[in-house]
Structure formats: C-alpha cells, structure tokens
Amino acid sequence: MLIHCPREDLGPQAKRVRTQDDVETQRHEDTGARRHRNTVTEKHRYTETHRTYVETWTRDTGVRSNEDTEIKSRDSTTATDDAAAVDDDVDDDEYAIEWFESQREVEREFHPTRCLERQIQVLPSSRCVLVSWLIPVRRHLSLSLHSLSLALSLLDRFLARVPLASDCLQLLGVACLHIAAKQVEVTAPRASQLLDLCGRAFTTQQLKNLERLVLLRLKFRLLAPTAADFLSFYLSRERGEAARGRALGEAEMALSCLSEQILELSFADYAFNSFPASTLALAALEVASRLLGWSRINDGDNRRKKLPLRLSRALWLDCVGRLCLLVSLNQNILP
C-alpha cells in the first residue's frame, strides 16, 4: 500500500519561520548576483585593457601579435605533454627492468632441466611428437605463443615429478594447454574443442581429473617465467625508446614472427630443455636477426650486454649455434 504524506496547512509559527528563510535566501541571492556582476565587469575591463596594450605594442614594434601569443601558449602546452610522455616512458622502462630482474631470479625454480629422468615410458621422441602436435593445435584455436609456452612449462614440471604412462601423454598435453589458456587468454577454448582434436579418445571427466592432478602436483604455482615472456621483453627493447608507443612496422613484425617460429621449433626439441628460458628467447631473437640480415655476432653480444642482468656468453653462444643447426634442418617449415 502506498502511503502519501498528509498535506496540512502550516501554522502561524511555521509561516513566520518560512518567511524569514525566504528573506534570508533572497538576501544571499542578491549579494551573490552583485558579486558576480562586479567580477564580470572587472574581467571585461582587464580584457579590454590587455587587448589595447597588445595591439598598441604590436603596432609600435611590428614584432609581436595576438597570434604569437596563441602559438606560444600552444608550444608551452605541447612541451608539458611531451615532458609527461617522457616521464611515462621512463616509468614503463623501469617497470620492465624490474620485471625482468624478478623473473630471472625465480627462473630456476620453474625450469626442470631434465624433466624426463624419472620417466620410463615417456621418451624425448614421445615429447617431440606431442609438442609438434600442440603447435598446430594452438594455431587452430588462435591461442597466443604465451599459452603454448606456459603449457609446456607446466608439462615439463609435471613430468619431472610424476611418472606417466605413454598413452596418457596426449591427454596431459591437452590438460596443460587448457590450464595455460585459462591463465593467459581472454576466452579459453572449451574442453569439448580440445577433446575433439584428440579424436574423442578421452572423456571430459578424464580431462578434468588430470587437470586437478596437475594443479595439485604443482601446488597451484602456475605463472612461471616462460620463453615467450622473455621474448616479448627483448622485442620491446629491440624497438628502442624512440619507437615506443607507435605501431609495429613491417620489419619489426617480420622479426617478431620469425623469432616466435624459431622458438616453437626449439620447444619440440628436448635438447633445448637444458637452456634457461631467458637464454633461449635471446638466442631465438639473435638467429632471427641473422636470417633477416640485420645482425652479426658482435651485435648480438652487445644486445646481451645491455640487459640488466648479464646472461652467460658461453651458454648463449651454445644455444645460438644449436638453434642455427635446428633452423637449417627445418628450412621447409620457416618462411
């Protein structure tokens, strides 16, 4: 039921108070209006005086004009905006360096160098077949390289802890890719999509059970530093401070795509599992630069020395040499 407020006539006392309030309100309004008129008048006088002075001074000297004043104002505004943009770039660069240093410190904790030592049925050749299958799967599902890189990190860390039957290896790869996509992508693929790509050899419940087992064995430590993360950092520094904030050019896009493809090739080769992710990503960038004709060994060494934390030169050169051999054996895959 809607209850309306009663409309009762106000008594004499209420009318008296009400009248006084109205008078006080009217008095304040009149005072404010007078102040406003005085302020407008003063501003008008100042504007007229300033305009007269500028015009007189311009006629006398022939140097300065109203347009010069406006241009100077715009220049000062532009200079202020440029200074703010420089400050933002400095902050971004400092944040990126801090990120790189922190990821390098924890990199060893998430990098099993010999993940197949405890495996009886899973061999390096089996892992190569699985990764070679996951690469086109991630492209078919339009997943980023970060998802694949994180999935392989989860896969290797799980294999380093738990012995696995060979017939479950494909299901493990799909489970790790599904977990990684949930962490990285805006929209992760459905479980049914992944199982369809497996030919429905596994059930949805089996996939869920294995995902739970992976999470438990890894103690839910999922966001590990990956080679794709380090490659993104190196590419951003490769563009340079002058190019920051603009769209990628054709040459930069070619370098980025070729580096990612070389990195994918290394994922399938178990021999590269012994290299840290930061070293592998920098080596992939170096090999891509050489293939495009942009880099020599000295240039790559200077790129390595400019990093906040130095990488081992011997280890980096070893990785570059192995990647060059791998690329030469797979020239039909690369563009």
My answer on whether 213 and 121 are in the same domain is: yes
| Average pLDDT score over the chain | 75
What are the tens digits of pLDDT across the range 92-102? 677 777 877 77
Of the residues 168, 200, 218, the one at which a domain ends: 218
My answer on whether 207 and 233 are in the same domain is: no
Q: What pLDDT is stored for residue 67 in this prediction?
A: 44
Nearest C-alpha neighbor of 173 from the set 196, 161, 156: 156
My answer on whether 125 and 205 are in the same domain is: yes
Residue 328 has pLDDT above 80, yes or no: yes
The predicted model scores a pTM of 0.69
Look up residue 37 and give its amino acid.
Answer: R
Q: What pLDDT is stored for residue 16 in this prediction?
A: 43
CB atoms within 10 A of CB 93: 14
CATH number at residue 249: 1.10.472.10
Whether 324 is in a domain gets the answer yes
Total structural domains within the chain = 2
CA-CA distance, 255 to 287, in Å (whole number)? 10
Of the residues 155, 185, 218, the one at which a domain ends: 218
Residue 17's pLDDT band, with cuts at 50, 70 and 90, is very low
Please, is 83 exposed, middle or buried when counting C-beta atoms within 10 Å of its C-beta (0-12, 13-18, 19+)?
Answer: exposed
Of residues 214 and 74, more confidence is placed in 214
Of the residues 188, 218, 248, the one at which a domain ends: 218
Residue 112's pLDDT band, with cuts at 50, 70 and 90, is confident
CA-CA distance, 102 to 97, in Å (whole number)? 9
Range of the domain at 283: 227-297+306-329
